[in-house]
Amino acid sequence: MDLNDKTFDRLKFAKGVKIFEIGEAGLAAFVLLQGEVEIVGANAKGEMVTFTTVKRGEMFGELALMQPDAKRTATAIAKVDCEVMTIGRDKLVDKIDRSDQFIRYWIKYLTDRVVDLSKRVNK
């Protein structure tokens, strides 16, 4: 993905700010342009843990865009001052709809697999 693509909106978050929280509607995914973001949530014992730290150029928040009406399964917190590129559900759907039929099938297949595996892990 071109990190200089100006067709996507950009947002800045100060250190410690929650970018999104568990349970919120997933209306956008994000690509980290600058900074670091921690993805946190509850483990099997209910304790809050860091699942991963997102680095420059990586996407996060995409799981909630994989199904209609999906809710966030984790919380994203700016570890330092950050800038992100937002990828809204509508723009994503539009890009997928305009893609080749095989690519649409491939994305649907992979999405279904990720969602299924996520449900199994969270049981």
Q: Which candidate, 63, 69, 71, 75, places its Cα nearest to that of 117?
A: 63
CB 92, CB 8: distance < 8 Å: no
Number of CB atoms found within 10 A of residue 66's CB: 18
Residue 48 lies in a domain: yes
122: in domain: no
Tell me if 61 is assigned to some domain.
yes
pLDDT band at 93 (very low <50, low <70, confident <90, very high): confident
pLDDT digits (tens, 9 = 90+) for 39-80: 999 888 888 899 999 999 999 998 878 777 788 889 999 999
Provide the pLDDT confidence category of residue 2 given band limits of 50, 70 and 90.
Answer: low
pTM of the model: 0.81
Q: How far apart are CA 93 and CA 114, in angstroms?
A: 17
Indicate which CATH number applies to the domain containing 59: 2.60.120.10
Assess if residue 49 is contained within a domain. yes
| Contact of 31 with 59, CB cutoff 8 Å | yes
In a domain, 67, yes or no: yes
2: in domain: no
Which element (helix H / strand E) includes 48?
Answer: strand 48-54
Number of domain units in the chain: 1
The pLDDT tens digits of the residues spanning 11-43 come to 999 999 999 999 999 889 999 999 999 999 988
Indicate whether 123 belongs to any domain: no
d(CA 74, CA 86): 17
Residue 59 included in any domain: yes
What is the extent of the structural domain holding 41? Answer: 10-88
